[in-house]
Amino acid sequence: MTRLQPDYGDELRRLQIELVKLQRHLIKDGEKVLVLLEGRDAAGKDGAIKRIVEHMSPRETRVVALGKPSERDTASWYFQRWVQYLPAAGEFVLFNRSWYNRAGVEHVMGFCSDAEYRAFLVAVPRFEDLLLRDGIRLFKFYLDISRDEQKQRLAERRSDPLKQWKISPIDEAAQKHWRDYSRARDAMLRATHARQAPWQIVRADHKKPARLNIIRALLASWDYPGKAADLTPERAVLFGFTPRCLADGRLAP
């Protein structure tokens, strides 16, 4: 059960005001912030990012959502295409999917070899450690939804003329390969969760609580001038990954 919430719009506005306060602090201190949002197709990444950045400074805030890799990308070091988008001092950058594509879509759909996949899982902790050593604050959120909820959201995409741009060939495989994606998710979380770069799991069947709690998790990570009280995420919605999550029903099977 989630705690009783005030009106969603009122609470979102309260949290967005806190994000503005936080960003002023981050710019002043020259902090570098990188937020990764991962999850199945239709898990709600776009909507969460939209609410996070809606009132943040466009000069110091960037959203990165890379498309299909080019020939040059596939011939380069795997992480290279993301390095150019990493935050500089004072910047707040969100990746709508990231290098973790290799552990999910690429692996499940056969877009990379098994050797490339295995090498990726070994390399990620080392790569992220380099980012942390350079002073980047890294946040990793995995938005988890149930199979029925994904099916409904994908159907809505096909019927809503305002969501046509979200439709892709990969959508058609999402339900067919549900169990493959579950196995890939579990392997990714086990291999790439680290104390210094932990995964936070978001139960995202209900979009509004998911969005609010992602914002709370970000705000709760800093002390900044004028910080409001009661910014702790609801643990029924957002919680740190542990291997127990894979067996206790908190992640969609």
Q: Determine, yes or no, domain membership for 203.
A: yes
pLDDT at 166: 78
Q: Determine, yes or no, domain membership for 28.
A: yes
Q: Determine, yes or no, domain membership for 163.
A: yes
Nearest Cα to 144, choosing from 176, 106, 188, 114? Answer: 188
Average pLDDT (94-117) is 97
Asked if residue 4 has pLDDT above 60, the reply is: no
Domain count, the chain: 1
Q: Determine, yes or no, domain membership for 119.
A: yes
Q: Determine, yes or no, domain membership for 82.
A: yes
Asked if residue 104 has pLDDT above 50, the reply is: yes
Owning domain of residue 173 = 8-246
pLDDT at 1: 42
Average pLDDT (223-237) is 96
Residue 218 structure tokens? 């970000």
Average pLDDT (107-130) is 98
Average pLDDT (133-151) is 98
pLDDT at 5: 58
Nearest Cα to 41, choosing from 96, 111, 94? Answer: 96
Taking residue 93's Cβ as centre, other Cβ atoms within 10 Å add up to 19
Q: What is the pLDDT of residues 159-192, one digit of tens each?
A: 888 887 777 877 778 999 999 999 999 999 999 9
Q: Residue 121: which pLDDT band, with cuts at 50, 70 and 90?
A: very high
Asked if residue 2 has pLDDT above 60, the reply is: no
CA angle 18, 23, 28 (to 5 degrees): 130
Nearest Cα to 36, choosing from 48, 25, 24? Answer: 48
pLDDT at 161: 87
User: Which one-letter DSSP state was computed for residue 2?
Assistant: P
Strand, coil or helix: 94: strand
Asked if residue 22 has pLDDT above 90, the reply is: yes
Q: Is-above-0.85 flag for pTM? A: yes
Q: Determine, yes or no, domain membership for 251.
A: no
Spatial distance between the Cα atoms of 96 and 207, rounded to a whole number of angstroms: 16
Residue 139's CATH number:
3.40.50.300
